[in-house]
Amino acid sequence: MLFAAAPAIAQDAAAAAVAQEDAPDSAIPDIVVTARRREESLQTVPVAVTAVTSEMLTERNIQTTIDLQKVVPGVVFSGAGTEANTTLTIRGQGKDVIGPGLPSVISYFNEVPLPGFGSSIPTYDISSVQVLKGPQGTLFGRNTTGGALLIYSQAPTDRFEGYGQVTVGEYGWHAIQGAVNLPITQGVALRVAGNIERRDGFTENLGVGADFDPLHNDSFRVSLRLAPLDFIENTFVYDYFIRSGPYIGVTPTQVASPTPPYRNGQNYAGIVGAANAQLINDTFNCNTSVNCDVDLMVERQRQIGPRKVYSDVDAFDRTRLQGISNTTTIDLGAVTIKNIFGWRKTEVDQRGNTDGVPVPLINTALTRHEAQITDELQLSGSAFEDRLDFLVGGFYLKTRPTGSISLFSDFLRPPSIPLATWRLSTVGNTLYREQSKAVFGNLTYSFGGGLEGLSATAAARYTWDSQGVCSVTLGGASTPLQSTAQCRTYANRFDIDAKFEKLTWTVGLDYKIDENFFTYAVARRGYRSGGSNPPLLGGALTSLQFYQPQTVDDIEVGLKTNWRSGDFSGRVNIAAYRGIFNDLQRQIAGIPANLDGDNNSANDPASTALIINGAKARVQGIEIDGFIQPVRGLQFTFGGSLIDAKYLEFTNPAILNGVATSSGIFLNTPKTSFSLGARAELANIDGMTVTLSGDYYWTDGYRKGIVAAVPSYDLANLRLEVANIADQNLSVTLFVDNLFDKEYYINNSLSGPSPGTTTFSYGPPRMFGVRARFGFGD
């Protein structure tokens, strides 16, 4: 077999189930995607895309992009804290949730790349979501080695229309959302949409503060379309999201045996003194009472079960995200000019009980205040009797801090000791700045004559990246620094810019055999920029101050098929890929204080994490999806992913051998995952339809941290919808999520030998609810 890793073919065929309703009996419904920056049929684009329509988002109760994991096998959403700090892992590539480093998967909103923090978008009034698998970069704004997530909001139209939706459910869940589209005059239209959501916490807090995992979200979106002339169009979109309330509930799940050396106070006697070193042992390792021994606290946690926690922190989360996308298109006939401007602002303030126990083993508070601007200019068109399609352009990105970017760590502090005097508790200030520039070009030529249906693609991109940081670690009672200028007043700061550049490329062949069969083969090189590990490291860690870029060379082959025989129809898409990663970047998290042995907490790694190179890896696999419709009104969908990820070379610096594992482990990469779905129209009474639908998702177990393991789990959801009630555009849906009330992990906050425990947050329990939706206008 020929393996590969390019943008591959993975459509969530359940999206076709919705479009099927309005499709003529003689045709299998099509889905339009923009994986190559132009509108194309999913079945004739040589890119691995899982396409999810707006109807599917509503039907499956997908509230944010994080919920897509349930319908896209092989994709794992990972985070620490709330949904603002969430990243995707595709084909073994993602980003760890703390520390430096660019994501391997980028999210885009209306073709504007989102920052690593603040990339989770509410899915109300969304037209489509597309998941592109494999390295991207020659066509999209940023280089990635794992994939891209494309999110498009509903654009204003020249019709008066809109909808309203109300949802109520368990745990006091109530939400209201809606949108209205207003045609103002010829070529001018306005669309306003909003979403308000509330729900009580489902994790009972037996300690300090309120219950965890509530919802308190408000968001709105305003879109304005201006088309003063037939060949000019401008679409402006402003979106705003704010979340406030308690933090997530974190549960310790693993007891370290014997007690980790990092919990032995004598290891810190040189920093805190002999008396305080003994006080550490008396507070965390007394071996006599659950009130002063972490291992006994974790054992108690096991006894009380999941979704209950003892917290010593009145945790909170205040997240505000906002942004602008402005797209201008000028169609000059043979050539189209397109400019995409973006602005994003992220303001995150969180404090949580990271260790999951009622003593400050290691509790954290995070602030992240930054702004990003991007601009992309494209020139596209066709030549040679429309056989050659071309797209060339340039991209620019700049990110800067607008306030504090810090991580407060309260480490091994006996409660009787004031924070201001405890040298193991610190505030790490890491004020990142970033700039990226790129030029790119893509050519696709469609052959004629005896080669009709055959196309060749060649694309290239050259990128210049500059990443900088001013970093300084201060005492735990310090106020986080608010600017780079303030950081530069400290003599012991780490202030550096690192520059990287790389050529990446794509070449491929695809062949449309006939209307129902399409095949392709693609080879690519992807690139992920290097960077630095703040602050100014000391002792035995100085050689790890910088890490270099990683690259991937991959190929992929795929086949997309449709078939129909009378009412019986179906679709099967399959892709096989193989990628080789060089200088693979790996994050080592949970690094203990004073690992460098210099008794200076000011030069310990920020966020207790380092990124290092030193690995070569191979990732290969097979993805399949499709649907079968035996008769009209009944459809079965399926999707699956098989991943084989292996380190070919693996080395750890000797200083990290006690912290990191000695063998390579891919994080957030289940070997096998699959989804199944069914949708049946039970009745049609004078146009009013009754539909029963459900879906099932299963994933193999996988690692989320150095020692944090997520066991395999499965989820089932069920829905009963009555639509077109009283011949009106009104539907009522009864639903239950997590039908069998499974207990499963989603994110982990703490992992590794350093704290000696592993902490996870649980996914939501079984929840019943009802949703009513009404559409109005044209």
Contact 426, 604 (CB under 8 A): yes
The token pair that represents 127 in the structure block:
């037209």
Helix, coil or strand: residue 224: strand
Task: Give the confidence band of 755 by pLDDT, cuts at 50, 70, 90.
Answer: low
Task: Give the confidence band of 101 by pLDDT, cuts at 50, 70, 90.
Answer: low
Of 151-165, 264-278, 310-324, 655-669, the poorest mean pLDDT is in 655-669
pLDDT of residue 392: 95
Of 121-125, 409-413, 663-667, the poorest mean pLDDT is in 663-667
pLDDT tens figures, 401-426:
999 999 999 989 998 999 999 998 99
Instruction: Give me the percent of the chain exceeding a pLDDT of 70.
Output: 92
> H/E element holding 275?
helix 274-284
Task: State the average pLDDT over residues 185-196.
Answer: 96
pLDDT of residue 709: 82
Task: State the average pLDDT over residues 441-446.
Answer: 95
Helix, coil or strand: residue 695: strand
Mean pLDDT (the chain, rounded): 86
Question: Residue 346 pLDDT more than 70?
Answer: yes
> H/E element holding 706?
none
Distance of CA 622 to the CA centre of its chain: 22
DSSP type of residue 613: -
The token pair that represents 495 in the structure block:
């202030």
Question: Residue 697 pLDDT more than 80?
Answer: yes
Of 218-222, 292-296, 462-466, the poorest mean pLDDT is in 292-296
Helix, coil or strand: residue 301: helix
Q: How far apart are CA 563 and CA 516, in angstroms?
A: 6
Q: Which residue has the higher pLDDT, 727 or 628?
A: 628
Position 40, amino acid: E
Write the burial class of residue 332 (CB in 10 Å: 0-12 exposed, 13-18 middle, 19+ buried): exposed
**Residue whose entry in the numeric block shows the structure tokens 């917290």:** 311
Task: Give the confidence band of 17 by pLDDT, cuts at 50, 70, 90.
Answer: very low
Distance of CA 19 to the CA centre of its chain: 27
pLDDT tens figures, 535-550:
888 888 888 888 888 8
Task: State the average pLDDT over residues 446-459.
Answer: 92
Question: Residue 20 pLDDT more than 60?
Answer: no
Contact 234, 326 (CB under 8 A): yes
Q: Give buried/exposed letters for 722-748 (b at 16+ CB in 10 A, else e).
A: bbeeeeeebbebebbbbbeeeebbbbb
Most confident of 73-87, 161-175, 278-292: 161-175
Task: Give the confidence band of 239 by pLDDT, cuts at 50, 70, 90.
Answer: very high
Task: Give the confidence band of 588 by pLDDT, cuts at 50, 70, 90.
Answer: confident
Do the strands 126-133 and 48-53 form a parallel or antiparallel pair, or are they unpaired?
antiparallel
The token pair that represents 464 in the structure block:
């210049």
Question: Residue 91 pLDDT more than 90?
Answer: no
pLDDT of residue 15: 37
Question: Residue 19 pLDDT more than 50?
Answer: no
Question: Residue 342 pLDDT more than 60?
Answer: yes
Question: Residue 279 pLDDT more than 60?
Answer: yes
DSSP type of residue 82: S
Instruction: Give me the percent of the chain exceeding a pLDDT of 90.
Output: 51
pLDDT of residue 640: 93
- Cα three-residue angle 561-564-568, rounded to 5 degrees: 120
Q: How far apart are CA 526 and CA 551, in angstroms?
A: 6
Q: How far apart are CA 10 and CA 755, in angstroms?
A: 40
Question: Residue 1 pLDDT more than 50?
Answer: no
Q: Which of 307, 308, 343 is nearest to 112 (CA)?
A: 343
- Give the bridge partners for 562, in sequence order: 571
Do the strands 308-309 and 316-331 form a parallel or antiparallel pair, or are they unpaired?
unpaired
Contact 69, 105 (CB under 8 A): no
Most confident of 102-111, 133-142, 263-272, 576-585: 576-585
Task: State the average pLDDT over residues 480-507.
Answer: 93
Q: Which residue has the higher pLDDT, 111 or 56?
A: 111
Task: State the average pLDDT over residues 683-694.
Answer: 93
Question: Residue 753 pLDDT more than 70?
Answer: no
Question: Residue 29 pLDDT more than 90?
Answer: no
Cβ-based neighbour number of residue 592 at 10 Å: 25
Q: Give buried/exposed letters for 273-296 (b at 16+ CB in 10 A, else e).
A: eeebbebbbebbbeeeebebbbbb
pLDDT of residue 18: 37
Q: How far apart are CA 2 and CA 620, in angstroms?
A: 11
pLDDT of residue 79: 63
Helix, coil or strand: residue 624: strand
CA atoms within 13 A on the CB side of 129: 29
Q: How far apart are CA 296 and CA 247, in angstroms?
A: 24
Contact 354, 407 (CB under 8 A): no
Helix, coil or strand: residue 492: coil
Q: Which of 225, 224, 222, 178 is nearest to 197 (CA)?
A: 178
pLDDT tens figures, 357-385:
898 888 889 999 999 999 999 999 999 98
Task: State the average pLDDT over residues 722-744.
Answer: 93
Contact 769, 720 (CB under 8 A): no
- Cα three-residue angle 109-113-115, rounded to 5 degrees: 105
pLDDT of residue 23: 42
Of 397-411, 465-479, 698-712, the poorest mean pLDDT is in 698-712
Question: Residue 6 pLDDT more than 70?
Answer: no
pLDDT of residue 2: 26
Task: State the average pLDDT over residues 11-32.
Answer: 48
How far is the CA of 732 from the CAs of 167, 256, 338, 401, in angstroms? 10, 50, 41, 46
Question: Residue 22 pLDDT more than 60?
Answer: no
pLDDT of residue 639: 93
**Residue whose entry in the numeric block shows the structure tokens 């005059």:** 185
Position 23, amino acid: A
The token pair that represents 296 in the structure block:
């006994």
Of 43-52, 83-92, 202-211, the poorest mean pLDDT is in 83-92
Residues in the chain, total: 778
Q: How far apart are CA 110 and CA 106, in angstroms?
A: 13
Query: For the chain, how big is the Rg over CA atoms in Å?
Result: 26
Task: State the average pLDDT over residues 625-636.
Answer: 92
Q: How far apart are CA 80 and CA 589, in angstroms?
A: 12
- Give the bridge partners for 293, in sequence order: 285
Question: Residue 334 pLDDT more than 70?
Answer: yes
Helix, coil or strand: residue 335: strand
Question: Residue 25 pLDDT more than 60?
Answer: no
Q: Mind giving me the DSSP string for 430-485?
A: EEEEEEEEEEEEEEEEE--GGGTTEEEEEEEEEEEEEEEEEEEEEETTSPPP--HH
E strands within 57-133?
Answer: 75-79, 86-90, 105-109, 112-113, 126-133
Do the strands 634-650 and 672-685 form a parallel or antiparallel pair, or are they unpaired?
antiparallel
pLDDT of residue 173: 94
* pTM, 2 dp: 0.90
Task: State the average pLDDT over residues 523-536.
Answer: 88
Helix, coil or strand: residue 608: helix
Helices (H) and strands (E) counted in the chain, each on its own, are 6, 42
pLDDT of residue 52: 83
Task: State the average pLDDT over residues 687-715.
Answer: 88
The token pair that represents 403 in the structure block:
């306030």
Do the strands 86-90 and 105-109 form a parallel or antiparallel pair, or are they unpaired?
unpaired
Do the strands 75-79 and 86-90 form a parallel or antiparallel pair, or are they unpaired?
antiparallel
- Domains, the chain, in order of start with CATH, read 14-746+756-777 (2.40.170.20)
Most confident of 14-18, 453-457, 543-547: 453-457
